[in-house]
Amino acid sequence: MLAITGASGAPYGVRLLEALAAADVPVWLIVSGHGFRLLEAECGIGDLEALKKGTGGHWDSVRYFPDDDRGALPASGSQRTRGMVICPCSMGTISAISQGTSRSLVERAADVALKERRTLVLVPRETPYSTIHLENMLRLTRAGAVVLPASPGFYGSGAAATAQQLVDFVAGKVLDVIGVRHSLLRRWTGGGAHTSVG
């Protein structure tokens, strides 16, 4: 399951969705209202059809659920899933999940992932973090979530890194956590060397 919320960093979510769709990994997709606003502002993606086109158009394995449908399949723990990624994940979403408020399908699905002891990966991009942000992320880490900040590494491409390489690095780290093979980033091998992944 993949959710896109209103934190800056829409290219990370788009690239992740593109990689999952290309790998034919079944994806339940939820985009919050602020997530769609962010997609428009940062990627020029104004609606679901544009998102499909912007991720290669290969959505045989992608199923979309509106964020305001709290009775949809992702809201139930009886539905078997591999877990959930929220990328990017706003601090408002992190706060709601850490408090268990479940005001939307994104938040309820995350709550389900935690209670069912499934993988939950949160990709915040906010900077700097306030004490409240850090406490909420610590609370979620203790509850079993993986907090994976959108902090790209430069060792694969150095100072000449393109924006796409930095996006790919973060998307690749998320794919690593959820166990999906990819070739988006170059792995550190020590001594300044690196190797591509396959």
Instruction: Note the pLDDT tens digit of each residue in 174-188.
Output: 999 999 999 898 777
pLDDT of residue 186: 78
Enter the pTM of the model. 0.92
Averaged pLDDT score across all residues of the chain: 92
Percent above pLDDT 90 for the chain: 83
pLDDT of residue 91: 97
- Tell which wins on pLDDT, 70 or 124: 124
Q: What angle do CA 40, 42, 43 make, to 5 degrees?
A: 70
- Tell which wins on pLDDT, 2 or 190: 2
Average pLDDT over residues 88-107: 96
Q: How far is CA 83 from CA 54, 166, 175, 195, in A?
A: 24, 25, 12, 29
Sheet holding 119-122, edge to edge: 62-66, 27-31, 2-4, 83-86, 119-122, 146-147
pLDDT of residue 155: 72
| Spatial distance between the Cα atoms of 170 and 103, rounded to a whole number of angstroms | 28
pLDDT higher than 90, residue 92: yes
Residue type, 99: Q
pLDDT higher than 80, residue 192: no
Domains by residue range for the chain, with CATH: 2-196 (3.40.50.1950)
Q: What is the pLDDT of residues 18-57, one digit of tens each?
A: 999 999 999 999 999 999 999 999 999 999 999 999 999 8
